């Protein structure tokens, strides 16, 4: 490269300085921290714990944004949430589930930009899932047709410790009873989103423009950046992972569903998580939800799922015993 002449050097240096200054201003104006390779830095450990439900309850009169007084009036707190769980039974002791010592659903309703949200769903405007005609009937009929839940293949995926229950690992990522932390790690080629529940790790490819044809438990995710936002598109969900149910939400995804997630920074401590579900075989229109991801100082520890889990072997052993007894009775007739 030919060196600039002495007379032109000051002008060149001035041009470089102006360009550098402009780039610095642009970076400062964006307000978002950057990785060393220039991507928006979204890394950290976050919590999506909230007592806000996926769908909007009738008590909110159709309003997405409510006042602090209204939130207090309906008693939407972590304490009231657990009270409802404890007192919603028939008075008999529950020996088959967790007691509230193990539960950590969150302490308050979701709040985004100072607005208290009455539902995670923001579109449609009524905050309800837009089920297609007959979709729920078909889904539950299909589940009933699988027969008795006495074999490992028909037990729920979360119970088999293959994925977390309730769509905790996503997409979409939704809050459940406990373990609502997730960790985001970025490289130039990948983004890893690790869910605390069941230790589900989703790998988002940043260099690919085409999805894999292989069905995956958490779907196949490719991503890209739009300014300060990470956009993730996921499809090719496993057909056994269609049912996503927890105590306070239920949804269904077909293998052909497409979910688009957007991660962007609201402030130093908060990410906005926005997702849109497109699945024409299940829903009459796309629907969208929003959640705040609140930064926490906690670590994510390994989630032990099957250790100490006596329920599944107990169910299967009981079914095998019933089969033996049924065979014995048949032979005696």
The mean pLDDT value of the chain amounts to 82
Beta partners for 288? 123, 276
| pLDDT band at residue 92 under the 50/70/90 scheme | low
| pLDDT band at residue 6 under the 50/70/90 scheme | very low
What's the Cα-to-Cα distance from 275 to each of 3, 80, 105, 135, 231, rounded to whole Å?
Answer: 52, 28, 21, 21, 9
Q: Which fold has domain 44-48+125-295?
A: Lipocalin (2.40.128)
| pLDDT band at residue 328 under the 50/70/90 scheme | confident
What's the Cα-to-Cα distance from 299 to each of 40, 265, 295, rounded to whole Å?
Answer: 22, 21, 11
CA dihedral (202, 203, 208, 214) positive or negative: negative
pLDDT tens-digit series, residues 232-242: 999 999 988 88
Query: What is the reported pLDDT for 165?
Result: 85
What is the model's pTM?
0.81
Question: What does the alpha-carbon distance between residue 296 and residue 278 come to, in Å, rounded to a whole number?
Answer: 31
Residue 171, SS3?
Answer: coil
Kind of pairing, strands 258-267 and 229-235?
Answer: antiparallel
pLDDT at 57 over 70: yes
């Amino acid at each position: 490269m030919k060196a600039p002449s002495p007379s032109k050097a000051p002008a060149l240096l001035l041009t470089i300085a102006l360009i550098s200054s402009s780039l610095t201003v642009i970076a400062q104006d964006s307000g978002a921290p950057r990785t060393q390779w220039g991507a928006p830095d979204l890394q950290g450990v976050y919590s999506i714990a909230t007592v806000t439900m996926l769908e909007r309850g009738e008590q909110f009169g159709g309003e997405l944004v409510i006042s602090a007084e209204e939130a207090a009036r309906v008693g939407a707190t972590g304490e009231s949430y657990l009270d409802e769980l404890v007192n919603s039974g028939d008075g008999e002791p529950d020996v088959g589930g967790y007691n509230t010592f193990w539960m950590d659903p969150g302490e308050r309703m979701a709040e985004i930009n100072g607005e208290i949200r009455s539902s995670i769903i923001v579109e449609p405007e009524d905050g309800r899932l837009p089920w297609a005609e007959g979709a729920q009937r078909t889904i539950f009929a299909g589940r009933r047709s699988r027969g008795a839940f006495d074999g490992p293949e028909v037990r729920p995926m979360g119970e088999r410790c293959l994925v977390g229950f309730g769509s905790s690992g996503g997409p979409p990522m939704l809050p459940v009873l406990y373990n609502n932390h997730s960790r985001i790690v970025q490289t130039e080629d990948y983004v890893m989103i690790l869910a605390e529940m069941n230790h589900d790790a989703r790998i988002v490819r940043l260099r690919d423009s085409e999805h894999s044809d292989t069905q995956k438990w958490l779907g196949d995710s490719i991503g890209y950046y739009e300014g300060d936002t990470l956009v993730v598109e996921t499809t090719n969900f496993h057909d056994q992972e269609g049912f996503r149910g927890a105590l306070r939400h239920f949804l269904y995804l077909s293998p052909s569903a497409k979910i688009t997630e957007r991660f962007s920074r609201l402030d130093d401590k908060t990410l906005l998580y926005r997702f849109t579900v497109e699945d024409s075989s299940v829903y009459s229109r796309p629907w969208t939800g929003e959640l705040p991801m609140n930064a926490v100082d906690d670590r994510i520890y390994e989630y032990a799922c099957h250790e100490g889990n006596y329920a599944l072997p107990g169910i299967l052993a009981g079914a095998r015993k019933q089969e033996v007894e049924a065979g014995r009775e048949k032979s005696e007739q």
